[in-house]
């Protein structure tokens, strides 16, 4: 490793951490443990305190290959570690928990609003929103970059896209947080690995926030069916030439998925990206001098932060990988974040290099049918925020303790106090 490595991202040398323990991740990404697994046990059996255990896949190539083989490694039995019975699986099913061909049909119905070309057409709206958010936060001097900036933008943009009224955005962000942050007491009153959450077992993320989001989505759908507009929601609900429109349940599940998937992932990438730049002043200076490097800088930020740490699959048959037999029904966890630091794929992966190219990271998945729908939206939001931020500040520095999300699923900096001197 080079000497300008990570501060908040590194756990000092512990090679044997329990990857399932949410507390482990509050100290930083357990890179030493991932590195040991990549080198010594790339298909490793990991025990779980409350579950049956799972296979950890930690090398880049294996992750992509297994992800591609959706027939052997299905998403239908859940994509997070949590084990669900049939009733829970059916009630909480979204696009993410489907395999082709069912997945293909639904994905086709929803992806149109998020293509690269569509997102570029929202770029000026994103720029305007980023400018507003920054102009509110920066004059404070000292502020929390996550709550005041990074948390604000993605939901405002998604809210506009989905045609939700502006006064609802804060509420939607809060609901999204309590789902994704379902193991962090700052974000939920029902911490799933500590409290009894059986009564919420049929709701997304086993969280009561799901009820409110379902009701919200139903109202939105009813409104758009009676008063269709030109927005993404109306398009999703309109009958298509070659297929059925979304049913109400499909729409509610998709809406909830968007609020969960499209909101805090971009937020935490922005926060982790800013911290990486502040930790590497040479890279920050280079980006200031050469803003044309923003696109490769964004890719490096995505690789470096790799916010969605894993997705899980379940084996549909006995299969051998590197001499290890994975049995039908076994859980298999693809650790995107480990693949993103795999020395076999990335030269000097612990070097943060905004010029890295090619940079085929796994932050949005790779190889399989579920590749992130929001990838272009996320990219443009990150790029535009940095483009708007850097010229506005003469100096920016960390100004207090950094706090990380308590989660084994999302790697996130939830508080990043900074001090800004305006340009
Ligand atoms: C930096 C921000 C983001 C990261 C790191 C991220 C990460 C991911 C990952 C790893 C997957 C699964 C890929 C796979 O299984 O192969 C995924 C899927 C998905 N993401 Fe994102 N995402 C981000 C932003 C967004 C945004 C802004 C949206 C909403 C517009 C979104 C919506 C989705 C959806 C709907 C899926 C499921 C796609 C499917 O199952 O076919 N994501 N994302």
What is the token pair recorded at 321? 């990988």
Q: What is the rounded CA–CA span in Å between residue 280 and residue 276? A: 6
Q: What is the pLDDT of residue 176?
A: 83
Q: pLDDT (tens digit, 9 = 90+) per residue, 2-13? A: 333 334 444 456
Percent residues over pLDDT 90 in the chain: 62
Q: What is the pLDDT of residue 11?
A: 46
- Cα separation, 172 vs 147, whole angstroms: 14
DSSP-H helix ranges across 262-406 = 264-279, 281-289, 294-305, 336-339, 375-392
Q: How many CA atoms lie within 13 A of 361 on its CB side?
A: 26
The whole-angstrom separation of Cα 329 and Cα 5 is: 39
Substitution site in 63, 70, 159, 374 for ligand 1 pocket (most atoms within 8 Å of beta carbon) = 374
* CB distance 183 to 288 below 8 Å: no
- The counts of H helices and E strands in the chain are 18, 12
- Does pLDDT of 1 surpass 50? no
Closest to 34 (Cα-Cα) out of 415, 402, 408: 408
Residue ID of nearest Cα to ligand 1 atom 17: 372
Query: Mapping DSSP to helix (H, G, I), strand (E, B) and coil, where does residue 408 land?
Result: coil
The residue that leads in pLDDT, 298 or 112, is 298
**Would the CB of 311 count as within 6 Å of ligand 1?**
yes
Radius of gyration for the alpha carbons in the chain, expressed in angstroms and rounded: 21
370, 269 in Cβ contact below 8 A? no
Cα dihedral sign for 263, 268, 274, 277?
A: negative
d(CA 170, CA 168): 6
User: Residue 70 C-alpha to ligand 1 middle, in angstroms?
Assistant: 17
Identify which of 50-59, 80-89, 231-240, 401-410 has the greatest average pLDDT.
401-410
Q: Report d(CA 30, CA 264) in Å as an integer.
A: 21
As a 3-state breakdown, the chain gives helix, strand, coil percent values, each rounded to 5, of 50, 10, 40
Residues with Cβ within 8 Å of 121's Cβ and at least 6 positions away in sequence, in order, are none
The rounded percent of the chain whose pLDDT value lies above 70 is 96
Q: What pLDDT, on a 0 to 100 scale, did the predictor assign at position 69?
A: 98
Sorted by where each starts, the structural domains of the chain and their CATH numbers stand as 36-422 (1.10.630.10)
175 or 63: which carries more pLDDT confidence? Answer: 63
Question: What is residue 164's predicted lDDT score, i.e. its pLDDT?
Answer: 86
The residue that leads in pLDDT, 59 or 108, is: 59
Pocket flag, ligand 1, residue 304 (CB < 6 Å)? no
Q: What's the mean per-residue pLDDT of the chain?
A: 90
**Quick one: average pLDDT of 245-259?**
84
Q: Give me ligand 1 centre to Cα 367, in Å.
A: 14
Pocket test for ligand 1, best of 372, 377, 384, 411 (most atoms within 8 A of CB): 372
Q: Which of 23-32, 194-203, 250-259, 353-362 is predicted most confidently?
A: 353-362
Candidate from 111, 257, 373, 413 with most ligand 1 atoms within 8 A of CB, to mutate:
373
| Residue 4 confidence (pLDDT) | 34
Q: Is the CB of 370 under 6 A from ligand 1?
A: yes
Residue 334 to residue 180: CA distance in whole angstroms: 18
């Amino acid at each position: 490793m080079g000497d300008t490595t990570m501060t908040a991202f590194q756990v000092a040398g512990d090679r044997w951490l329990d990857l399932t323990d949410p507390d482990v991740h509050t100290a930083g990404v357990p890179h030493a443990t991932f590195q040991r697994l990549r080198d010594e046990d790339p298909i490793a059996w990991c025990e779980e305190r409350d579950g049956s255990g799972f296979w950890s896949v930690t090398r880049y190539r294996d992750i992509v290959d297994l992800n591609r083989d959706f027939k052997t490694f299905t998403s239908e039995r859940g994509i997070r570690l949590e084990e669900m019975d049939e009733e829970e699986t059916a009630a909480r099913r979204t696009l993410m928990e489907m395999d082709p061909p069912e997945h293909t049909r639904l994905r086709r119905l929803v992806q149109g609003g998020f293509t690269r070309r569509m997102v570029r057409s929202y770029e000026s709206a994103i720029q305007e929103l980023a400018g507003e958010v920054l102009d509110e936060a920066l004059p404070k001097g000292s502020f929390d970059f996550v709550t005041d900036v990074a948390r604000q933008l993605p939901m405002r943009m998604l809210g506009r896209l989905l045609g939700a009224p502006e006064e609802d955005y804060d509420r939607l962000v809060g609901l999204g947080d309590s789902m994704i942050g379902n193991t962090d007491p700052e974000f939920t009153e029902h911490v799933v690995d500590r409290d009894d959450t059986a009564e919420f077992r049929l709701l997304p993320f086993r969280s009561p926030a799901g009820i409110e989001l379902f009701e919200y989505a139903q109202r939105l759908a009813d409104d758009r069916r009676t008063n269709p507009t030109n927005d993404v929601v109306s398009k999703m609900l309109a009958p298509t030439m070659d297929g059925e429109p979304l049913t109400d349940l499909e729409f509610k599940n998709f809406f909830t998925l968007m609020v969960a998937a499209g909101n805090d992932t971009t937020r935490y990438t922005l926060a982790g990206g800013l911290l990486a730049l502040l930790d590497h002043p040479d890279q920050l200076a280079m980006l200031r001098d050469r803003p044309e490097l923003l696109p490769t800088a964004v890719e490096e930020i995505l690789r470096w932060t790799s916010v969605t740490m894993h997705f899980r699959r379940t084996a549909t048959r006995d299969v051998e990988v590197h001499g290890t037999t994975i049995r039908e029904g076994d859980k298999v966890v693809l650790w995107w974040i480990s693949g993103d630091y795999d020395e076999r794929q990335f030269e000097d992966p612990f070097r943060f290099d905004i010029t890295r190219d090619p940079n085929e990271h796994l932050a949005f998945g790779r190889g399989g049918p579920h590749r992130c729908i929001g990838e272009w939206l996320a990219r443009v939001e990150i790029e535009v925020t940095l483009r708007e931020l850097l010229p506005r500040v003469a100096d920016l520095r960390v100004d207090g303790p950094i706090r990380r999300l308590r989660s084994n699923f999302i790697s996130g900096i939830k508080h990043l106090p900074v001090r800004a001197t305006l340009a």
